[in-house]
Amino acid sequence: MGKIGIIIWREYSTRVRNKTFIIMSLLGPILVAGFITLMVWLPNSDKTEQKIMVVDETDAINISKLPDTKLVKFYYPKVSLEEAKKTFYKSDFTGILYIAAAAVEKDPRPIFYCKKSPSFSTENYIKTQLEKKFFEWRLASNSINPVVIHNSKVSIDLATTKIDDKGGEIETRNEYAGIFGFACAVLIFFFVTVYGMQVMRSVMEEKTNRIVEVIVSSVKPFQLMLGKIIGVACVGITQFIIWMILSTTLTTVSSSLFLSKVINDTETMEEQKEVVYKQGSNANFQEMQKPGTTVEAMEVIKTMISLDVKEILLAFFFYFLGGYLLYSALFAAIGSAVDAEADTQQFMLPIMLPLIAGYMMTIGIVQNPESNTAFWGSMIPFTSPIVMMARLPFGVPAWQIWLSLSLLVAGFLFTTWLAGKIYRTGILMYGKKISWKELGKWIMYKG
């Protein structure tokens, strides 16, 4: 094993044996799998039955009953609002739905009295059904057949399909692909920043403890810097692989144990939705899916499954590695130039600005991934790791990916050369406040 190999192994072994690394490697996938599971399962976990008393002074609702579900039941006693309120708290009813007589002529504003605040899904279900009933009631009062109107409705799910330069077709859902792309960009930002800072602190620690004076007697400063950068990179790759394996395993297990019924219910509800549009008020509402099914969450999961996960994971790996190597060299240069972490502030801002700019770009890029800002942001090496990961779920031509990666490699070689010029001088310099002018002189030194 060469000198650089020994440094790499020391940096790697020291960090992977650290308790923090072990805990985060195990805790990260658990949090990811738990978040995905809760996102789908939690809104469907409410099993509280709602028994709702309907006090309708207009008779618009009483004529055509509100459809019950497994968890929401409507009752229509012939009582006034005052009588209903008197016996409400001691009764089995969980809510009173009051519709005033003035709702016929003015905009209806029903009032829902409750003992405990209902879930959002229950409240939304009541609101949606009331809107349907008043819509049908007003159509009928104007001698318009509601069934004809309902039968005229069409449920449209617009399928956005991209055609690539080879004639291939790729179906995309921009809204959910944007969420996935933004998440990938945030992870790149997080990994590059965290592991880059680790390199900087490692260099500073050895410099302030004077350990580096002993080390550079055996290896060249550039070899030491390169060994540290590659060693910490191996730590990041190891943690990334652990996260991918454990996240995939835990998500698969949680899906089979907790989410299979939710997935089946969602598919059933999609079929029933078509029936409602076609049959209108004649649809069998008694069999409709209970409120609270998380359709949006399921759409996100379906979109993730439909994406080319292998391509995105491979791109994530290379862009993380390239972005880390580019920025970690600069972080290492900063660590070698200062004696204390407080002195790093003046040098950190110019390095962090491109990272922050790339992160800010993604907010607009997920809305318009083909813009000029998106293209140039994914080409410039200092922003491409973040911006390109935000674009990839939407589909990016292969030549743009290869050009972006080539420029990223060139950027890494440039920053490594630049950082090496600073590192070899700064690592053995103590007790002097370094300015940008001084750094410029170190870069211009020859030999």
What does each of the 447 residues of the chain score in pLDDT, given as a tens digit? Answer: 578 888 888 888 888 888 888 888 888 778 777 776 666 666 555 567 788 988 888 766 555 678 888 888 888 888 888 888 888 888 888 899 888 877 666 666 788 888 887 777 788 888 888 888 877 777 777 778 777 777 776 666 666 666 666 666 666 666 667 777 788 888 889 888 888 888 888 888 877 777 777 777 777 877 888 888 888 888 888 888 888 788 778 767 766 665 555 555 555 555 555 554 444 444 443 344 444 444 555 555 555 555 566 777 888 889 988 999 899 888 888 888 887 777 777 788 888 899 999 888 888 887 788 888 889 999 999 999 999 988 888 878 888 999 999 999 999 889 888 888 888 777 777 767 777 778 888 777 765
**What is the C-alpha to C-alpha distance for residues 86 and 70, in angstroms, rounded to an integer?**
27
CB-based burial label for 92 (10 Å; 0-12, 13-18, 19+): exposed
Question: In degrees, to the nearest 5, what angle opens at C-alpha 160 toward C-alphas 392 and 308?
Answer: 35
> What are the start and end residues of each CATH 3.40.190.10 domain in the chain?
50-127
CB-based burial label for 291 (10 Å; 0-12, 13-18, 19+): buried
Chain centre to alpha carbon of residue 111: 37
**All residues at 6 or more sequence positions from 380 whose CB lies less than 8 Å from its CB, including other chains:** 354, 407
Residue 443 in contact with residue 422, Cβ under 8 Å? Answer: yes
User: Is-above-0.75 flag for pTM?
Assistant: no
Q: Where do runs of H (alpha helix) occur along 67-210?
A: 81-88, 120-141, 146-152, 174-208
3-state secondary structure of 9: helix
**What is the C-alpha to C-alpha distance for residues 14 and 22, in angstroms, rounded to an integer?**
12
Beta strands in 63-196 (DSSP E): 72-75, 95-99, 111-114, 160-163, 169-172
Chain centre to alpha carbon of residue 422: 38
Q: Supply 77's token pair.
A: 């006693």
**What is the C-alpha to C-alpha distance for residues 221 and 423, in angstroms, rounded to an integer?**
7
What's the CATH code, domain 50-127?
3.40.190.10
Give residue for tokens 């006034």.
80
